[in-house]
Structure 1
Amino acid sequence: MTEQYTVRRARSADATAIAAVHVTSWREAYAGRIPDEVLDGMDVAERAAIWRRLLAGEVPGEAGAVWVAELAGDVIGFASAGRCRDDDAIPGRRELYAIYVLEADYGTGAGDLLLDAALGDEAASLWVLEDNPRARAFYRRHGFDADGAVKTQTVDGVPIREVRLVRTPPHGT
């Protein structure tokens, strides 16, 4: 029998597993897009400490709600979402803060499950690396389109250009 992916709300005890997915998935997805020294400098223990604080609610509003995807009890992905943080946010719009799945689990539906848990079919926005065609295609399949907004974020001193994608609910409601 094929094992199924399950999605559940993250708990504080998931911090290390989320951090491991976070670091590994960045290295897999952003190789050649973000400088190697940035990716090589990512540390699971440091990320775990941050996730532990976020999941414990010690940094209010920063993580939003967090979900994990599991396969055979192992965390293979995570997503977080909450209120839209953009200065020009439309009232009621949610924002997908992060969604990552390990490369070995691409195309399995785990990302779809995480996105559905995080956003359902609500109006939402997200920021995605401009040069990330795989992620942009994933979001397009889920009804997201670029709205023209662009920003440059600095990660470890390296400028990263991102574009905003938005989705309205079915039938514009």
Structure 2
Amino acid sequence: MSPSALKRCPWPGTDPLYVAYHDEEWGVPERDDRALYEKLVLDGFQAGLSWITILRKREAFRSTFDGFAPEKIARYSPKKVEALMQDAGIVRNRMKIDGAVASARAWLEIMETGPGFSALLWDFVEGKPIDNRNCAMSDIPAETELSRRIAKDLKSRGFKFCGPTIVYAFMQATGMVNDHLTACHRHAACAKLGKTGR
């Protein structure tokens, strides 16, 4: 079956980059500590913007933010932040850039003294994705009680731009919840990945 003939969630439309993201990344359980930091920061940069805007700038973000290595970002100087503010390839928002630095420092603290970032997050869902069975986009919430709890915990640890709505989008993207619609060809595939413990 050709990719165009597959049934999928309506939100990526026909944009090839968006369709590839939907088909290959969104909803796949992510358990890598650094990758989870990157996804949370990018979701924070999305605030007030569309995700496709961030997706189109993702490679520029990765280049300018040292591959989203928290160990490097945590040490960013005011001069580096100023250089980022001049980079047209990314979203130039000082509060969000400062937030990425603060979140990198919080990430390092968890990695050094806590359970690790992945373990911390996945413990909220007892180590396995929540498999929602939504039939329509209108069934999918913008935030949940769980995303509010996670947001509160992350904020208490020093993370920035991690409100309940951002956290829920992050949970969807990283497969902590499977919010592909039941008719979407990726719903069953992501549910299977969740069961295999990937």
Normalising to structure 1: TM-score of the pair? 0.30
Query: Greater helix share, 1 or 2?
Result: 2
**Greater gyration radius:** 2
Q: Which has the higher strand share?
A: 1
